[in-house]
Structure formats: C-alpha cells, structure tokens
Amino acid sequence: MIDIHHHLIYGVDDGAPNLETSLAMAQEAIHEGVTHIVCTPHANDVHPYRLERNRERLDEIQAALGDSVQLLLACDFHLNADNICDALEYPLRYSIDGKGYLLVEFSELAIPPQLDDALNRLRGVGYTCILTHPERNPIIVRKPERMVQWMRSGALVQVTASSLYGRFGRIAESFSNQLLDLNWIHFLATDAHNLTSRPPHLRKAYDYVANRCGVETAERLCQLNPLAAISGHKLPRQPEPIGLYEDEPVKFSQNFKSSGVGHRPAGKPPGILSRLFRRAK
C-alpha cells in the first residue's frame, strides 16, 4: 500500500515531534504493509513550508530506515493567498515528489467562490489537485454540492482512512461512506500525526473497503491510484462517479446517525444508497 498523506517529518508542524517518533510511525506503517510514504508537512499560516529543511529531515529519516520503505516529499497545501501565488510562480514545487499531484486543504472557516478560480489556475500550471479529507470539513459536509464543480473540473478526492469506520465521529463516518458508495473517492490515506490519536493505520481501511466494495476497489484507493500520484502518471481507468454529471446531482443525507455499514458482501449492489442519499427534486 502507498500512503500519500502522512505528517512523518519531525519538528516542522503538529505531526511527529522528534526523530524517534518519526521512525516509530514509519515502522508502524511498514508493519501494516505500506511500501511508500509521502511526507506532507503543513503549508499554512501557522506552519510555513520550508522545502530545504523538509528535504534534509526526510533524508535523515530515510537513512535511518534504509530501504524498508520509500519516502517522498510533498505538503498539506492550505489554499491561502500566499501559497497560491507561490505555487503559481514555482510550478510543481508543492506537489508530490515534484510530479504534479497537489494535496489541497480548504479552510474550515470559509471557502470563498474565488477559490474555484484558484483551483483552475493551479491546474493551468500543471497541478492535479487532490481535495483532502472533505468529510472532515464542516463547510463541505453542509454543502457537498461545492464538490461537484471541483470534481467536474478535474479535482480528485482523498478521504482519511479512519473516517470510514468512525474514528473522526459520526458525521465524517457517514459522509465518507456516502462518498465511497458514489465512487467519489480516489485515494485513502492516513493523515497520520502521531502513534496515538492520529496513527498511521491504513490496513484497517483497506480491509474495510475490501469487505464493503471488493478487493478491486481497495487496491484502487490504496495502491493503484496512489502509485499513479507518486509516479506523476494519469490515474488508471476509474468507475463512473454516480450522479456527478447529472443535471441534478445527488444530494447527500444529513442524517448522521451511524448506519452500521461495512458488512456488504463484495460485488453486491450498494443497497444502502437509498438510505444515504436521495436525488435532487
């Protein structure tokens, strides 16, 4: 498996505080079967992105780990004005291994319409934008229709692995499972920050998706699509995103009680869809 969102680099943000923790987090991921980790320190107003420092510490961690796992550099790119301007001036600087895929984080306070244009401009200089953890963003959860235009314009979606089975609460659980059933997810990643509250656990989500939707889907979200992202290649053929291109896109359920999902036999049609969302009238 490949984890494309992991705050492994120590002392640069609210992730690993020291080298010892970085190594322990990496070992935990290796134990779960992860072969590549994309190290994604925050790039925001609180934690400015310092490329050379991040690279030096990544190299230090890699040297200590040897060839047991491959580390790559990217960032958790917050959509603020300074970041956008710098990313436009230095194309691909913030992307995964400099090859084009960009992890984009929206503010939880406001998502002004101007950011739609910002995403288009980033795409125009070579970035493929990946929207990170929309299921944990209260604005997107309240107005998921905002995702429609972004995805229609080419944006991809990354969900936090543990959101699927409730680690981030019922709202994130319900919303992420709706995204999964609609084929609106392209990547699962841990967004790991530590070994306790935000651990690097990807295997449980892989098994969850394999049980719910089939092994092919689990491999696509945890292996094949992430491999394309770290290689800078186009994604392999994806299943049709349900409702995304209809004149009246599906509406999401706002009933965030736990649905008890996760036990549908592989390959069986998603019968819970009628309970999770309804089409716009």
Closest C-alpha to 175, from 78, 258, 281:
258
CA distance 34 to 20: 19
Other beta carbons within 10 angstroms of residue 89's beta carbon come to: 9
Confidence (pTM): 0.89
pLDDT at 107 over 80: yes
Other beta carbons within 10 angstroms of residue 159's beta carbon come to: 29
**What is residue 250's predicted lDDT score, i.e. its pLDDT?**
78
Asked if residues 176 and 280 have their Cβ atoms less than 8 Å apart, the reply is no
Per-residue DSSP letters for 245-259?
A: TSSSPEEEP---S--
**What is residue 227's predicted lDDT score, i.e. its pLDDT?**
98
The predicted-structure confidence for 170-224, as pLDDT tens digits, reads as follows 999 999 999 999 999 999 999 999 999 999 999 999 999 999 999 999 999 999 9
Q: Which domains does the chain have, with CATH numbers?
A: 2-279 (3.20.20.140)
Closest C-alpha to 195, from 58, 8, 13, 44:
8
CA distance 187 to 220: 8
